[in-house]
């Protein structure tokens, strides 16, 4: 790498394309050299654009796949099991009243500006007792 001439070779740039796309080149000097190279080298710039398009497509497909709703049969089985659990708890605690049993499932998907994808799925069954 010849840093005085602000030049790095294609062999030095190509292995770092995905790091560049994902904003993971942390050294500012290295980042500047890669950007200068993309400005001067059409072949590497084309390769970077193709990689970026492929990564974007994969992220979009992943997000679309994760946004699908659960099959109705699965929702029905979960509801039935929750109802059965509720009935069992009611029978076991007939002498001790309680206020509520709730089942909550939350799916949260976030794609940040830098393209990072975060997916959080939370399931919770909660039994709340009255205060005596």
- Cα distance between residue 95 and residue 85, in whole Å: 17
- For the question of whether the overall pTM of this predicted structure is more than 0.75, the answer is no
Containing 89, the helix (H) or strand (E) segment is: helix 72-92
DSSP string, 91-106: HHTTTS---EEEEEEE
Structure tokens at 62: 């992943």
φ/ψ of residue 6, rounded to 5: 55, 45
Mean residue pLDDT across the chain: 78
What integer pLDDT is reported at residue 63 of this predicted model?
Answer: 72
Helix (H, G, I), strand (E, B) or coil at 123: strand
- Cα distance between residue 1 and residue 31, in whole Å: 13
Question: Per-residue pLDDT tens for 101-119?
Answer: 676 767 666 766 666 666 6
pLDDT band at 84 (very low <50, low <70, confident <90, very high): confident
Question: Per-residue pLDDT tens for 48-64?
Answer: 999 999 988 888 887 76
What integer pLDDT is reported at residue 77 of this predicted model?
Answer: 87
What integer pLDDT is reported at residue 132 of this predicted model?
Answer: 54
């Amino acid at each position: 790498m010849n840093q005085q001439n602000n030049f790095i070779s294609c062999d030095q740039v190509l292995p770092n394309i995905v790091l560049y796309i994902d904003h993971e080149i942390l050294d500012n000097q290295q980042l500047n050299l890669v950007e200068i190279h993309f400005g001067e080298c059409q072949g590497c710039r084309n390769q970077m654009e193709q990689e970026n398009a492929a990564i974007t497509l994969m992220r979009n497909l992943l997000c679309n796949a994760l946004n699908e709703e659960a099959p109705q049969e699965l929702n029905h089985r979960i509801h039935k099991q929750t109802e059965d659990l509720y009935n069992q708890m009611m029978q076991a605690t007939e002498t001790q009243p309680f206020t509520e049993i709730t089942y909550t499932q939350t799916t949260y998907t976030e794609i940040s500006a830098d393209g990072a994808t975060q997916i959080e799925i939370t399931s919770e069954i909660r039994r709340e007792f009255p205060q005596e």
